[in-house]
Amino acid sequence: REFIQTWGKSYSLLSHNQKVKLFRNFYTCFFFFPKGIKRFVAGALGPTNKTLSVSPSVEKPDYRNITFDELVEAYKEQAKGLLDGGVDILLIETIFDTANAKAALFALQTLFEEEYSPRPIFISGTIIDKSGRTLSGQMGEAFVISVSHADPLCIGLNCALGAAEMRPFIETIGKCTTAYVLCYPNAGLPNTFGDYDETPHMMATQLKDFAMDGLVNIVGGCCGTTPDHIREIAKAVRNCKPRVPPATVFEEHMLLSGLEPFRIGPYTNFVNIGERCNVAGSRKFAKLIMAGNYEGPAEDSPVAKVQVEMGAQVLDINMDDGMLDGSSAMTRFCNFIASEPDIAKVPLCIDSSNFAVIEAGLKCCQGKCIVNSISLKEGEEDFLAKARKIKKFGAAVVVMAFDEEGQATETDTKISVCMRAYHLLVKKLGFNPNDIIFDPNILTIGTGMEEHNLYAVNFIRATKIIKETLPGARVSGGLSNLSFSFRGMEAIREAMHGVFLYHAIKFGMDMGIVNAGNLPVYDDIHKELLQLCEDLIWNKDPEATEKLLRYAQTHGKGGKKVIQTDEWRNGPIEERLEYALVKGIEKYIIEDTEEARLNQEKYPRPLNIIEGPLMNGMKVVGDLFGAGKMFLPQVIKSARVMKKAVGHLIPFMEKEREENKMHAGTEEEEDPYQGTIVLATVKGDVHDIGKNIVGVVLGCNNFRVIDLGVMTPCDKILKAALDHKADIIGLSGLITPSLDEMIFVAKEMERLAIKIPLLIGGATTSRTHTAVKIAPRYSAPVIHVLDASKSVVVCSQLLDENLKDEFFEEILEEYEDIRQDHYESLKERRYLTLSQARKNGFHIDWLSEPPPVKPTFLGTRVFKDYDLRKLVAYIDWKPFFDVWQLRGNEPFLSNWSQNSAEPLTKVTVNRPDSASTDPYHCLSDFIAPLHSGVRDYLGLFAVACFGVEELSKAYEQECDDYSSIMVKALGDRLAEAFAEELHERVRRELWAYCSCEQLDVADLRRLRYKGIRPAPGYPSQPDHSEKLTMWKLADVERCTGIRLTESLAMAPASAVSGLYFSNLKSKYFAVGKISKDQIEDYAVRKNMSVAEVEKWLGPVLGYDTE
C-alpha cells in the first residue's frame, strides 16, 4: 500500500491479494494432484519503500516519513488479503530495516489474536554487503535477536548478495537460531549493466554446497534467477539432508540488541545501564531536551554518545517531565539515536511511568529493548495487559517490586511480589524467564528515619533469594535513589554507590542504572569515608547518618564533589603516570610521557617507559577490576589514557628502529624468504607458546611468518593467507574443542578450492586425529607437525619443487594406514555397558570411614599479588624445557613426565567402561552421596599469572622473540607452581585434612599427597564444559579476572583450575575411551544433546560419529 500511495496509483491492494486464492486453487489442481506431493503457497510481505530507522532528510536525522502504526495498518491490510486467499505461510522478506519487519510481525500477531488462525511465519533479511549488516546498519546476529520473539518457523536471508557472498552470514544465522534456515540469494552480483551472470548450474552448485554442509533447510533464488535456476537448484539439493536445528542456543542468556547483539549470560560481568539520558536525572540533558536540542551541544559529544564511550552497555531513556510531551520527545530522541551508529549499537532501555511513552519508544527501535518498567500496582489485569503488549514488541521487561499494597520495602515482601509477578509472566503469558528483570527497589537510606535503615540490606538480601529461586530472572536497580538524602554532596553519594554496588554484585545484582564513567573505585574511597558508608549500608551503626554528615561538613566543602587538586603532580614521574592511569586522567599524560622519554639515563628507550611505569599502572587497574573494586567504565578510561601515552611514544620507537636498520646496514632489495607461512591459534583458544616457537624457528630459517595471534576465526585465517599469498597455513590449539575448529578450517579451505598445504600442531593434536578427522576433508596436503624442530623440515619439503610431490604421496600413504589401523581398533575394542561398569564401580563404606574434615572456611577466598618467591621451589622445570625442546634429564629435575597441575575435575562425571577386572572409578565415588547422610565437602580453585600477555607483546614490539616466549613459558610454570603450592596449603591449613603432612617437592611430583585436584579436559574428566559449573559456583571471573573463551579455554593462558577432593582413597585415573550408552546417559544428566556431548568428549569417544 505504501508503494502504491507513493506513486499515486488508484488500486485495491485487498482485491489484488485476494487473487492469491485463484492462484492457489490453480496451483493445487495442476501441481499437487499430478505429482502427489504436498505443495505450499507463501504470501510475501515486502519491505515497502519506506524505513522507520533512517531519515529521508540528511538535515533532519530525527525525521521519518512514515510511522510504525501506519506500517502496521499497511501490513494488516496486505496480510488480510493473503490470508483470505488461503496462503499457507506468511513470508516477511527482503528486510533492509528490522523496525519495518517488527511492524509486520506486530500486524500479523494482531490479526492472529483478533481474526485469523495462526499461520507459520518465515522471516528473511537482507545483508547488503560484506560488512554483514542490513541497510539500516544492523548485524545479522542482532537481526535474529530482534525478530525471534515472533517464534518464526524459518529465518534466513535473501537478495543483495550472491550465494558465495551470502554464505558466511547464513552460517552465522544458523548458529544463532533454533528455527529452520532459508536462503534465496541473487544470481551473483549485478554486472555493470545491472544484469546477473550466474547460470543455473553455477548457482545450483553453490547452493548444493550449502545443503551438503548442513547450513540450510529451504533454498531458492531472488534477483536474476529464472525458472531454469529454480529447477536446477531443486534438482541439485533433492537428495541432500536438511539442516537439523539446535535444540537451544544461548541457553540461560538474556538476548538484547541494538545494531549489535548483546548477550547477558551467567558469567557476564555487571551490566552498566547509562542513566544520563533522563530528563529527571540529568540537568544538562533536561536543559538540552527542553530547548529542543536533541543532538546535544555543537561543541561537545551528545550525552548518549558520551555514556556509551564511558562504558554504558545499555542506554536508559526517560522523558518524564510535566513540561514535555513525553511520547513525542521519546519518539524524536529514539529516532535521533538511530542515526548515530556509535550510539545505536547498544540496546535501549525505554523508561517511563507512562505506558503510552513506553509504546512510543518501542515503535522506534529496530533492536530488542528493555522496558522500564511495569508492576502489579494497578492489579493483575493491568499488569498482564502491559506485559502482553511488551512481549508483542519483543522486548525484555523490568518489573518493580510494587503491588496493590504499595512499594515493597521488607525483604519478604519484595520476594513475594517478585515471585507472584514471575509466575504470572511465565505461566500465564509464556514470557521467557530470561527476559524478566526484577527491580526490588533500591530505596533511600540515611534519612534519619529508623524504618529506612535496612533498605539497602533488604535489597541485597532480596537479590540473593530472587537469583536462587526464580530461574532465568535478572536483578537491576536505580542506584541514585540510594543516596538521595545526600543530594548536593556528590563525593558522599559516589562513595555510597561504589560500596553498595561492590556488595550487591556479590549477591547477584546483574545490572544497574548508573552514571557510566562516574563510579568510584572501591579501594580509592578514603578509608574513613569507606567505613562510614559500610556502616550506613549494612546498618551497623545507628549514628552512621550523623557521622556521614559531619564527615561531609569537614571534608570537601560540605560534601560537594571535591575539586580535584594537583597535589599528585608533585610526585616522581613514575607515580604521576601510574596515578593518571588508575584515575583515568588524560590531561597531563602526554606531558608526563614526554618528560619520562627525555630522561635518557633512566629510560634509554621509549619501550622502557611502556614496560615500566605505564605497565605498572595498568597492572593496578587489572588487579582492581579483577577484584570487583573497579568497574568497566573506569577500565575504559584507563585504557584510553594508556593508548594516548603509547601513541605518543610510537613515532619515537619507529625512528629508533629505522636508525637501528641503518646502522646494521640492512638493505631491502629482493625478497630473501623461501616461503610465506600464516600461523594462527584457532578460534576459541588462547594458547600460543608452541606456535610462537614454531614462528621463531621458521623465521630463523628464512621463512616469512605472518602470525595472526590467538582466538583467530576461520575467515581471518583464510583472508590473511590469500592477502599474503601464503605458501603454507599452520593451525595451533591446546584444548580439545580446538580440534573441531581445525576440522572446520579444513572444510572451508576445500569448499573455497584453496590448495595451500595445512600444518596441524599443538598439545591436543595428534597424527591419528589429523589423519582420521582432518585430512579426509581437504584434498591438499594436511600434515601433523610434532614440534618446532620438525616444522622446518616439513615446510622445506612442501616448498621444494623436486621433493613436494613425493613427500605428499608418502603422507597420503602413511595417513591411510593410520586410518585403517584406527578403524580396525574400533572393531577390536571390547566395552562393558555402563550398567556393568557401575556394578563393578569403586565403593566406599562411608559409615565406617572417619567423617570428612570440615574446611576451615566455607565460601570463596581470593589471594591477590601472591608472593612469587613462595612458588619458585614448586616449579616443575621439565615442561619448561619441553617448551624449548631441550631433551634429556637434568640432575635437579624429577623424572616425572607430567607437570604438577595435571588433571582438573567437574561435577558431572564419566566412568571408564573398557573391559577390565579392576574397579571402575568415577570422581563422584570420592564424595559422600546424599543418601549416606554424611556431610561432605568439595573445593575448587582457579589460579593465573596476569600480565604475561602484556609483557610478552612488549617484547614482540621490540622484536625480541626469545624474551617474548620466555615470558609465556615462565608464566605457565608459575601458574602450575601456584596450583601445586596452593594445594599443599589446602591440605595442611585451609582445609587441614592432612595438617601434619611433611612432603618434599619430589614427593609432590610423585603424587604422594592425600586427596586429588583433577581438572576438566584431563584424563580423570575430559569434559571442558564443567568449567562453566565451576565458574558459576565460585564466581571465578569476577573474583579473579580469569575468563572462559567460547571454547572454554582459560584466559589468561597461564592459568590452572580444578577441583579439590579430600577423601584419602581418592586417586587420579583415566576415563579412557567410552561407548555410546555412557554418552547418552551423560547427555541426559547434563541436559545436553548427544551431539553436543560428543563434541566436547570427542577425543575419548570409543566409536566413530560419522
What average pLDDT does range 940-958 have in this prediction?
A: 86
Residue 917 clears pLDDT 90, i.e. is over it: no
Q: Which CATH class is domain 269-368?
A: alpha beta
Q: Is the model's pLDDT at 300 over the cut of 80?
A: no
Is 732 within any annotated ligand binding site?
yes
Whether residue 621 is predicted with pLDDT greater than 90 in this model: the reply is no
CA distance linking residue 1076 with residue 425, whole number of Å: 40
The whole-number pLDDT of residue 684 equals 76
Give the separation between CA 653 and CA 151, rounded to whole angstroms. Answer: 55
Q: In the prediction, which pLDDT does 795 show? A: 87
SS3 678: strand
Answer for the pair 129, 358: CB distance below 8 angstroms, yes or no.
no
Higher pLDDT among residues 135 and 425, named by residue: 425
> Stretch 696-725: mean pLDDT, rounded?
82
Is 876 within any annotated ligand binding site? Answer: yes
Average pLDDT on 563-569 reads 71
Query: In terms of Cα–Cα distance, which of 21, 637, 692 is closest to 272?
Result: 637
Q: Which amino acid is at 41?
A: V
Domain range annotation of the chain: 40-237, 269-368, 374-519, 567-659, 675-827
Nearest to 507 by CA among 544, 543, 457: 457
pLDDT of residue 608: 83
CA 586 to CA 646: how far, in whole Å? 13
- Residue 795 is assigned to a ligand binding site: no
Q: Is the pLDDT of residue 586 over 90?
A: no
> Residue 736 annotated as binding?
yes
The yes-or-no verdict on residue 1106 having pLDDT over 70 is: no
The answer to whether residues 292 and 58 touch, using CB atoms and an 8 Å cutoff, is: no
Better-scored residue on pLDDT, 515 or 74: 74
Q: Judge whether residue 564 has pLDDT over 60.
A: no
Q: pLDDT at residue 345 above 60?
A: yes
Is it true that domain 675-827 has CATH number 3.40.50.2020? no
830 is in an annotated binding site: no
Residue 126 carries which DSSP code? -
More confident residue, 696 or 806: 806
The whole-number pLDDT of residue 894 equals 32
Q: Cell triple for residue 192?
A: 555493470
Torsion of CA 820, 824, 826, 829, to 10 degrees: -150
Angle at 57 between CA 55 and CA 59, to 5 degrees: 115
Average pLDDT, integer, range 969-989: 91
How would you class 168 by CB atoms within 10 Å of its CB: exposed for 0-12, middle for 13-18, buried for 19 or more? middle
**Over residues 814-839, mean pLDDT:** 79
Q: Is 333 annotated as a binding residue?
A: no
Mean pLDDT of 775-803: 83
Given a cut of 60, whether residue 127 has pLDDT beyond it is yes
Q: How far apart are CA 900 and CA 1070, in angstroms?
A: 16
Of 236-250, 783-797, 1005-1019, minimum mean pLDDT range:
783-797
* Whether the predicted pLDDT of 913 surpasses 60: no
Predicted pLDDT of residue 902: 30
Determine if residue 1018 is labeled as part of a ligand binding site.
Answer: no
Of 1013, 1044, 1052, the closest CA to residue 1027 belongs to 1044
pLDDT over 70 percentage in the chain: 87
The phi-psi region of residue 13 (left if phi > 0; otherwise alpha if psi is between -120 and 50; otherwise beta) is alpha
Distance from C-alpha of 218 to C-alpha of 170, rounded to nearest angstrom:
12
Q: What is the pLDDT of residue 166?
A: 94
The model's confidence at residue 1074, banded by pLDDT at 50, 70 and 90, is: confident
pLDDT, position 633: 47
Cα 416 to Cα 892: distance, rounded to the nearest angstrom: 65
Report the pLDDT averaged over residues 928-933: 87
Active site residues: 685, 687, 738
Q: Which three cell numbers stand for residue 142?
A: 542482532
Q: To which H or E segment does residue 792 belong?
A: helix 788-799
Mean pLDDT, range 881-891, rounded to an integer: 48
Residue 774 per-residue DSSP state: I
Q: Give the whole-angstrom CA distance, residue 563 versus residue 521.
A: 17
- Cβ atoms of 556 and 550 within 8 Å: the answer is no
Q: Report whether 686 belongs to an annotated binding site.
A: yes
| 1068 annotated to bind ligand | yes
The answer to whether 720 touches 771, Cβ cutoff 8 Å, is no
CATH fold of 374-519 reads TIM Barrel (3.20.20)
What are residue 302's phi and psi, to 5 degrees?
Answer: -60, 150
Q: Is 382 annotated as a binding residue?
A: no
Per-residue pLDDT at 897 exceeds 50: no
Read off the pLDDT band of 655 (50, 70, 90): confident
Measure CA of the first residue to CA of the last residue in the chain; give whole Å: 52
Least confident of 490-494, 541-545, 560-564, 750-754: 560-564
Which pLDDT score, from 0 to 100, does residue 625 have?
57
For residue 842, name the pLDDT band (cuts at 50, 70, 90).
confident
Nearest to 576 by CA among 530, 527, 528, 609: 609
186 — phi, psi (to 5°)?
Answer: -75, 170
pLDDT reading at 126 higher than 80: yes
The sign of the dihedral angle between the CA atoms of 948, 952, 953, 955 is: positive
Given a cut of 80, whether residue 194 has pLDDT beyond it is no
With contact defined as beta carbons under 8 Å apart, do 330 and 361 qualify?
A: yes
539, pLDDT greater than 70: yes
Please give the residue that has the higher pLDDT: either 103 or 806.
103
pLDDT band at 623; cut points 50, 70, 90: low
Which whole-number Å values give the CA distances from 263 to 412, 504, 823, 937, in the listed order? 31, 21, 42, 34
Mean pLDDT of 659-674: 58
**Residue 909 confidence (pLDDT):** 47
User: Which pLDDT score, from 0 to 100, does residue 1105 have?
Assistant: 73
Between CA 889 and CA 895 the distance in angstroms is 7
pLDDT value of position 962: 59
Higher pLDDT, residue 766 or 261: 261
pLDDT band at residue 129 using 50, 70 and 90 as cut-offs: confident
CATH: 3.10.620.30, 3.20.20.330, 3.40.367.20, 3.40.50.720. Which one for 40-237? 3.20.20.330
> Is 688 within any annotated ligand binding site?
yes
Read off the DSSP letter of residue 243: P
The predicted pLDDT at position 901 comes to: 31
Strands 370-374 and 396-400, sheet pairing: parallel
Looking at residue 565, its pLDDT comes to 62
Residue percentage of the chain with pLDDT more than 90: 44
Report pLDDT for 1069: 85
In this chain, the answer to whether the domains covering 269-368 and 675-827 adopt an identical fold is no
* Residue, of 515 and 422, whose pLDDT is higher: 422
pLDDT at residue 904 greater than cutoff 50: no
The average pLDDT across 225-230 equals: 94
pLDDT at 22: 55
Cβ–Cβ < 8 Å for 804, 797: yes
Question: Of 592-606, 762-776, 785-799, 1068-1082, which range is least confident?
Answer: 785-799
Average pLDDT, the chain: 85
Please give the C-alpha separations between residue 781 and each of 86, 727, 803, 976, in angstroms, as whole numbers: 56, 12, 13, 36
Confidence at residue 760, expressed as pLDDT on a 0 to 100 scale: 93
Is 611 annotated for ligand binding?
yes
Q: Was 845 annotated as part of a binding site? A: no
567-659 has which CATH code? Answer: 1.10.1240.10
* pLDDT confidence of residue 28: 56
Report whether 1013 belongs to an annotated binding site. yes
Asked whether the predicted pLDDT for residue 800 surpasses 90, the reply is no
pLDDT of amino acid 911:
46
766: three-class secondary structure by DSSP: coil
Q: Give the Å distances, CA to CA, from 108 to 41, 83, 235, 454.
A: 17, 10, 34, 49
What is the arrangement of strands in the sheet containing 782-784, beginning at the earlier edge strand?
A: 703-707, 675-681, 728-732, 758-761, 782-784
**What mean pLDDT do residues 455-472 have?**
96
Please give the single-letter amino acid code of residue 360. A
